[in-house]
Structure 1
Amino acid sequence: MDSKLDTIETDTEATSLQSIDEKEDFHGNSSTTSKFRIEDPEIIIERIKVSNDLEDVLVEDAEFVIDKLKTMDTSEALKVLGQAYEYFQGDMNFPLRTMDKLKMLLQGSDAYGLGEDLYDLDLRLEATLIKYHSPYPEVRSVCSPVDDACIPCETFRVYLIAGIWTAFATFVNSFLYWRQPHFTFTSQVMQILIVPTGQFYSRFMPDWRVGYGEYSFRLNPGPWSFKEQVLATIMINAGSSVAIFLCYVPTMQLEMFYGLHWLSYGFNVLMGLCCQFFGLAVAGILRRWVVYPVKAVWPTILPTLQLNRTLVVPERRTNVHGWTVSKYKFFNIVLGCAFVYFFIPDYLFTALSTFNWPTWIAPQNNNLAIIMGSSAGLGFNPVTTFDWSMLNYSNSLVLPCFAILNRYLGTFIGAIIIIIMIYTNYESTAYIPPNTSTVYDRYGVKYNTTRVMTDGYFDAEKYKLYSPPFISAGAITLDGADYTLITFAFVYIFVTEWKTITKAFTGFVRSLRHRDSNVLDEFDDPVSKLMRRYPEVPDWWYIIVLLFAMTIGIIAVRCFPTQLPVWAFFAVIGITIALLTPGLILYASAGYMFSIQHLTTLLGGYWVPGSGIACIFTRVLGFGMDEKADLYVGDLKLAHYAKLPPRAVFRVQVLSTLIQVFISGASWEMLRKGIPDLCSLTQKSKYTCTFAHTMYSQSLLFGLIGPKRTFDEIYPVFKWAFLIGALIAVPCWFLRRLFPRTLHYWHPVLILSGVTHWGSTYNLSYYTSGVYLSVTFMWYIKTRYTLWWAKYNYILSSALTAGTAFSGILIFLALQYHPKELNWWGNTVSDAGVDGMMTARVKHLAVDETLGSAQGTWS
């Protein structure tokens, strides 16, 4: 096939991209004085970060940009760049170098200083990229600026193949969710399984037409397409995880916690449908806030799109910084290596996973374990792991480097706070392991809720005779930071994104008045323009889903002894929707979603005093909408980038949700009846249910005991956290406005979110190595070897994750489900000391000594 680029004339010989990179100034332009024609293909390809090989299959992006460049005149370019310069102010994903370049271009050729020809080239090219492609290199590396509406998308085989794989992944993931660490069939893994299935189907199934008239369809409409692959991925991604409500069932149902025997499969399905469809409805309603705006980059979904392109779209041989291996081959090589390697840290030499090597020097030294330990300690350790599942805990090859560094700074600050608390014995924290979710009584053992309950409710007289609850310094840090974060993030994001929020709200109200209007008409970016050819999902469709979820929820709350009044059910919905908007805006740009689950837990304790169960229900309703809206919105952005029909995406999300709820509920029933000692911290197959213990502690402290006692008597510092967060938000925003360049990559919400990393089994050891990876790949390689990064980075992340997941699942099924222990020093040294045994603490209770004040001083 002839290429347009073959006929383009240049005034100079083709310049290699490597030489261009070496001569770049701060503009990102070549400092050579040679004159290039506007249509020089090498310059175009370098600028859109595709490849330095003109025969690359993605060269159509360069051809497209060249065609649009010919129609871009100087006056239009200046207008486009002026609007962009204003719009992207303060956007941390928009490179400072590019922002400086726009400023220089807007000042004219004399200020630009590279001559009239190069000024005209860069002026028109930057405007063309922004108007017709994307201003972000990350997006340009995975998203094409063109669309073919004739490519098969919503086909019968998508529903068949994705439906089967969704059911399979839901069952397996629900079964393994309770294990620590748990392995899941991630979207990367499922994409690998979808491709051969789709290709097998397209090759061997007959192409019959089934149905009648307009209701007919083809069974096999040609080769398995890229759009079918992405739609199938969205269907599996939406339904392959454990249903949100099921995450809370062990805390309520098992005897070691609340022991509610009335929880049944039917009730779990009702609550599962309520939570899942709430998330779907809210995601659709909020799409004009967090999907369609250009600044909603959604870095977390870019690897998924890149992997889909790699697996399905043909690729020709290219040369990038000396690398000629194709993305597909690179993916398979890395996947195979990761699969084999993971046997070492996960089974053969597990000390390489929890690499708490400083504690091996003196295993029984409490202070050493507290500071440098990886299990009970804080993880001050420069080399913490050789296990990809821990290296990738912060998604280091996907999230922007600024996000990783900001959150790590917050985690480090949290560690310092914990050290201060335990060594000053603040609120008896010296007698408790520094970073655990377990709640203790005054005797230093796990809190026994049955000693303060009567008929499922709190009994004040029993409480006076027993003990107030005590939590670790890590848990205090987590709760205090989380309460501060809620009000801080709400205020900070609203003042920084006020224009986006108000514009989207106005558009939502307008769409309700004019039901035939298209949401995409409100947006003028290239992808939205292409998507206007497809019928949009009306807002009232999502409102119907929301009403359905509310109806199901009311039936469940009223017909079962949930201890939750209906008015509290509606209150949680309103609060969650209000807080979701700023939360999703942050997630869309930085890959972090601040959760409101602690707030809804607290509110449940106020609304239904003395009930730990009602507290759990308010939390699961808030978290269910929060978590699922995050997932569904991300899939909507993925579909937006891939140019999928919105109504097709809506249909697969609804079907996938139904599959997920019914199958994950059945999986829990099998697990509950088939696994002995389920959720015990000593369970042989590691089904320890970490989250169930954390939830139990939270519901005990803020539900059963109640927030009033907790805030007034036990931990009074908590009640000031909300006020502090709200008060410091505006000064932080003003400070960033005052020093926009110096503080460009400073994000106080992300820093504060890092402080919330504490309070369970996670510590610095889960994040330190991720910082090394992020600085290497998301900053150094991205800025120095941009073309290599654009081609291989997301593929590397996906391959490592997929290979580790496949290996972990095989190891679990073959060697750990029915344990085949491998006892040697490399597998026992990490657990041999007080760090591995989770017993490290600054002080130990003496005989007849108790925590806190004397009995009778609490009420």
Structure 2
Amino acid sequence: MIDQNYIELQQYPESNDNIHEDDFIINDEDEDDDKNNSLSLTKTQLSLILHRLGYIDLHDLDLNNIQNLPKSAQYMINIINTMSIDTAIEIIRNTLADHIEDVNFPRDEYNLLEKLLHTTSTSKQLTKIEIEDESRIFHNEKSYLNLVDWDLQIRLEAALVHYHSPYPEVRAITEPYDDPTILCETFRAYFIGFAWTFIGSIINTCFVHRIPNISLSSHTVQVLLLPCGKLWAQYIPNKRLKFFRYIIDLNPGPWTYKELMLSTIIYSCSAGVPYSMYNIFVMKLDKFYGLKWVTITFQIFLSVSTQFLGFSFAMVMKKVCVYPSTSIWPSILPTIALNKALMDEEDNSHSMTRFRFFSYVAIFSFLYNWMPSYFFKALANFNWTTWFAPSSIHLVNITGSSKGLGLNPWPTFDWNRIDAGGCLTLPFYSYVNRYIGSILGFLVIVIVYYTNNNYSSYFPINSNYLFNNKAEVYDVHSILNDKNQFDNDKYQQIGPPYFSAANLVIYGAHFCLYPFSILYNFATEWNSMKSSFVSVWISLTDAFKSNSNQFGRYSEDPHCKMMSKYKEVPDWWFITILVVSTSFAIATVTFYDVETPLWGIFLVIFVNFIFLIPLTSIASVTGFSFGLNVLIELIVGYLIPNSGLALITLKAFGYNIDSQASNYITDQKLAHYTHLPPKAVFKGQIISTLINIFVALIITNWLLDSNIPNLCEQNQKYNLECPGANTYFYSSIQYGEIGPAKVFKLYPVFKWCFLLGAILVVPCALFKKYGPRKFTTSFQPTIIMGGFLDFAPYNLSYFTGGLYMSYLFMYKLKTNYLNLWERYNYILSSGLTVGVAFSSLVIFFINLPSLHWWGNTVSYQGIEGGKLSDIWRNVTSSPDGYIGLRKGEFP
């Protein structure tokens, strides 16, 4: 039998003010339900609430002393206690209407809300006095789906979706209340964040051209920020310094959760190398264009303008991808989870705290990663299927991890490869859709290759290189003159470059994806898209109004309510960045010989603006994103023919504007979830981006001027083979110097891919609307089409292992053990990633001697190791000793 002692809770305001100990009164006697506007809860009912909130180890909680409960639990209990039934019913009804097609809203919880709303008046009489067996409530983690106390449960579920979040993954890592007095925008938070930005920019820029690259990830630095802040708080003197009219408090107190989050966001801006560094490499290095006029002033103009133009776009996207609760941004959730694990001081109510779990996982990952990375490399590249016949071209083509398409039931034991697709971050439906696309892409590549479509059987099946008509890597310098400009006479002697089968499919998929993504989103999400464009228009008009509601129709969202305490970034700050960065862009194309007309800048800005809403909307809900680089290559190649410089210049703007806008928006969402002042985030990002630019420029020019032997060549001594710069250069030749007109004459199927993408919208949209709800809810054809892009040089071996992990953790564990998943899933992901990052850096920098034994060589036998040719058909058997179009027929 349950304990009939009641816990009476005083009226608590529906605000996010601080919680005080005297908000709660414990009474062992029954009280009238209406007395003092309070409701009486039994200990069993209180246990039910705590169980639903994710507190698994209820025996560790003192239910007789509510003041000892975690503050988030105290806050939610008060919300539930003070909510009326009518309010709860209205919340549930609105939630069901808003999330009917929401794939991220758990269907079992949606069904529970329907059951609560449609319960008959007779069954509503099921109350606390009729519950005689607590095992009915707590027999498993999904027992909250059973209707045992309608009066309590309808208020409980309404409170969760309206005062916290509709999504369990968000509830797992955020708090339903905010304390604005917690230190955030401090001198030490900025200083530590900028210091790691400086260090990270050096390391990341040095090794971005390496295969495999080494980087100091945000998660790695996030762990390092904690001891830095703690040591600062312990040893730096508590003094105040005056700097002009500003007072700098050197040590204001203990290092806080918000300071750690702010420093993490500051560093995240420098976690990637500025995209313009590829331009500088390709323009200056003799292997590529070898231009001597690429001065540091030009590099600053180009880098600043490409990095900051996207920031100004973020001004109009807050109401589209930051304020709405449906924009969960799955990719950022592990960052918040790690922050919570590192700083959660209320985590002692569980036998295994988040920080202890993270520590165990990170240590295990650090130690284990030495096996696939150094001692037993076959565990990383576990291409066991090719070991039986390493010289079989067909076996390697299908199952090879290095040279093939990677069809392997278990291809790796290396977390770095397993998590290539974000298996513990992206929703399960998103990962499955993308993997389905990868399988379809695999089948299409095999068909293209083995039917010798466009001579693809004479080239490696899964290569991102360009080839000449003798099946050799295309020497782009052979069709350029002394000024590195396209020479048609030489081109007519050499012939056009050819694609591998995988490259053919990838480019075809790109050409399908662009029209499909736009038209499909408008066809299936018309109301959402229309609302997004309205929000953008409102944001633009509000920029010129002194008083406007910054959150608009999202002002009732709990996180928006909490953020209303902080001043939003003034729109004129964004406008200033837009004006300055556009001026730098104009200077770049006006004063330097990049062969780019002024209208090209405004063209790529317009193209990015058109795609901004669909791209960010898809990424904010599913975690899937794609760039506009190929589309920009086509547009520029047609409008500015025979100019590789114009192509890579506008490509830098065309790709990076939306990319940087997305980066800033995700950081805004991070601040939104963790309740940081927007102005602090803005200032931190701007300064951090400037530091990143100037450090990257210094390191890039040092690499170019240091005469590193064979830089960007295959088998370079330090593995500085520059995969990104090589692809950048080849694309500038293919679509810039030669031009897409010639490419489309050689591959006329590419033209039809645009039409195919538009036509596919019709059946996909019809299926989405009229198909079985069981399948249509999770059906995401845009992501499926994106799976075609996961080849050349990648393959299925980078995503198969992640599929198993996604099924286990993002589906089975989340479905059956939601509380456990909410507590530990993102911590597991962060711990594994941090361990791998630290051990990889240690292994690289201590420069250990190579271990030559079977476990390190077996994966690189025969074709997979480059010891035998990875080409099936011999070009020498072709007429005249070459393949493709005959001389005189070249486009």
TM-score category by the smaller chain? over 0.9
Alignment of 1:148-167 (within 5 A): 148-167=179-198
CA distance in structure 2 between the aligned counterparts of 1:345 and 1:815, rounded to whole angstroms? 16
CA distance in structure 2 between the aligned counterparts of 1:71 and 1:756, rounded to whole angstroms? 52
User: Residue in 2 aligned with 1:19?
Assistant: none
CA distance in structure 1 between the aligned counterparts of 2:220 and 2:808, rounded to whole angstroms? 25
Structure 1's unaligned 5+ residue stretches are: 12-34
Shift of residue 846, structure 1, vs aligned partner? 1.9
Residue 298, structure 1, aligned to residue 303, structure 2: no
User: Residue in 2 aligned with 1:646?
Assistant: 678
User: Residue in 2 aligned with 1:469?
Assistant: 497
Shift of residue 214, structure 1, vs aligned partner? 6.8
CA distance in structure 2 between the aligned counterparts of 1:839 and 1:569, rounded to whole angstroms? 44
Amino acid aligned to 2:653: L
Work out which of the residue numbers 46, 50, 53 in structure 2 matches 1:48. 53
Amino acid aligned to 1:638: L
2:846 aligned counterpart, secondary structure: helix
CA distance in structure 2 between the aligned counterparts of 1:659 and 1:416, rounded to whole angstroms? 45
CA shift in 2, pair 1:339/1:852, >3 Å: same
CA distance in structure 1 between the aligned counterparts of 2:589 and 2:28, rounded to whole angstroms? 72
Alignment of 1:53-72 (within 5 A): 53=58, 55=61, 59-72=70-83
Identity %: 35
2:410 aligned counterpart, secondary structure: coil
Contact 1:488–1:728 at 8 Å: present in 2 too?
A: yes
2:203 aligned counterpart, secondary structure: helix
CA shift in 2, pair 1:787/1:456, >3 Å: same
Shift of residue 47, structure 1, vs aligned partner? 2.0
Alignment of 1:97-136 (within 5 A): 97-109=108-120, 115=126, 118-136=149-167
Amino acid aligned to 2:234: R
**Between 470-479 and 99-108, the greater mean CA deviation after superposition:** 99-108
CA distance in structure 1 between the aligned counterparts of 2:806 and 2:124, rounded to whole angstroms? 34
Amino acid aligned to 2:750: F
User: Residue in 1 aligned with 2:876?
Assistant: 846
Contact 2:54–2:820 at 8 Å: present in 1 too?
A: no
User: Residue in 2 aligned with 1:571?
Assistant: 603
User: Residue in 2 aligned with 1:687?
Assistant: 720
Alignment of 1:233-632 (within 5 A): 233-319=264-350, 324-454=351-481, 455-495=483-523, 496=525, 497-523=528-554, 524-632=556-664
Amino acid aligned to 2:816: R
Residue 7, structure 1, aligned to residue 29, structure 2: no
2:158 aligned counterpart, secondary structure: helix
1:708 aligned counterpart, secondary structure: helix
Structure 2's unaligned 5+ residue stretches are: 1-19, 31-39, 63-67, 129-148
CA distance in structure 2 between the aligned counterparts of 1:510 and 1:275, rounded to whole angstroms? 25
Work out which of the residue numbers 865, 868, 875 in structure 2 matches 1:836. 865
Contact 1:572–1:622 at 8 Å: present in 2 too?
A: yes
Contact 2:284–2:704 at 8 Å: present in 1 too?
A: no
CA shift in 2, pair 1:312/1:734, >3 Å: same
Contact 1:367–1:841 at 8 Å: present in 2 too?
A: no
Shift of residue 112, structure 1, vs aligned partner? 7.5
Contact 2:309–2:577 at 8 Å: present in 1 too?
A: yes
- CA distances 1:117-145 after superposition (whole Å, capped 9, x unpaired): 72222222221111111111101111001
Amino acid aligned to 1:682: N
What RMSD, in angstroms, separates the aligned Cα atoms of the two structures?
2.2
Residue 794, structure 1, aligned to residue 826, structure 2: yes
Contact 1:507–1:522 at 8 Å: present in 2 too?
A: no
CA distance in structure 2 between the aligned counterparts of 1:359 and 1:621, rounded to whole angstroms? 43
Amino acid aligned to 2:594: T
TM-score by length of 2: 0.89
1:821 aligned counterpart, secondary structure: coil
Contact 1:298–1:591 at 8 Å: present in 2 too?
A: yes
Alignment of 1:816-835 (within 5 A): 820-835=849-864
User: Residue in 1 aligned with 2:15?
Assistant: none
CA distance in structure 2 between the aligned counterparts of 1:506 and 1:564, rounded to whole angstroms? 31
**Between 570-579 and 283-292, the greater mean CA deviation after superposition:** 283-292
Residue 677, structure 1, aligned to residue 705, structure 2: no
Contact 1:10–1:37 at 8 Å: present in 2 too?
A: no
Shift of residue 697, structure 1, vs aligned partner? 2.6
Shift of residue 113, structure 1, vs aligned partner? 8.2
Shift of residue 617, structure 1, vs aligned partner? 1.5
CA shift in 2, pair 1:741/1:254, >3 Å: same
**Between 766-775 and 723-732, the greater mean CA deviation after superposition:** 723-732
Residue 209, structure 1, aligned to residue 209, structure 2: no
CA distance in structure 1 between the aligned counterparts of 2:600 and 2:746, rounded to whole angstroms? 26
CA distance in structure 2 between the aligned counterparts of 1:212 and 1:376, rounded to whole angstroms? 59
Amino acid aligned to 1:230: M
Contact 2:601–2:650 at 8 Å: present in 1 too?
A: yes
CA distance in structure 2 between the aligned counterparts of 1:8 and 1:748, rounded to whole angstroms? 57
Q: How many matched pairs?
A: 827
Shift of residue 672, structure 1, vs aligned partner? 2.4
1:516 aligned counterpart, secondary structure: coil
CA distance in structure 1 between the aligned counterparts of 2:86 and 2:538, rounded to whole angstroms? 30
CA distance in structure 1 between the aligned counterparts of 2:461 and 2:283, rounded to whole angstroms? 27
CA distance in structure 2 between the aligned counterparts of 1:50 and 1:560, rounded to whole angstroms? 62
Instruction: Give 1 or 2 for the bigger CA radius of gyration.
Output: 2
CA shift in 2, pair 1:316/1:290, >3 Å: closer
Contact 1:359–1:833 at 8 Å: present in 2 too?
A: no
Shift of residue 394, structure 1, vs aligned partner? 0.7
CA shift in 2, pair 1:340/1:120, >3 Å: same
Residue 94, structure 1, aligned to residue 83, structure 2: no
1:40 aligned counterpart, secondary structure: helix
Shift of residue 695, structure 1, vs aligned partner? 2.0
Contact 1:38–1:121 at 8 Å: present in 2 too?
A: no
Contact 1:605–1:615 at 8 Å: present in 2 too?
A: yes
Contact 2:124–2:151 at 8 Å: present in 1 too?
A: no
Amino acid aligned to 1:163: F
CA shift in 2, pair 1:610/1:38, >3 Å: farther
Shift of residue 38, structure 1, vs aligned partner? 10
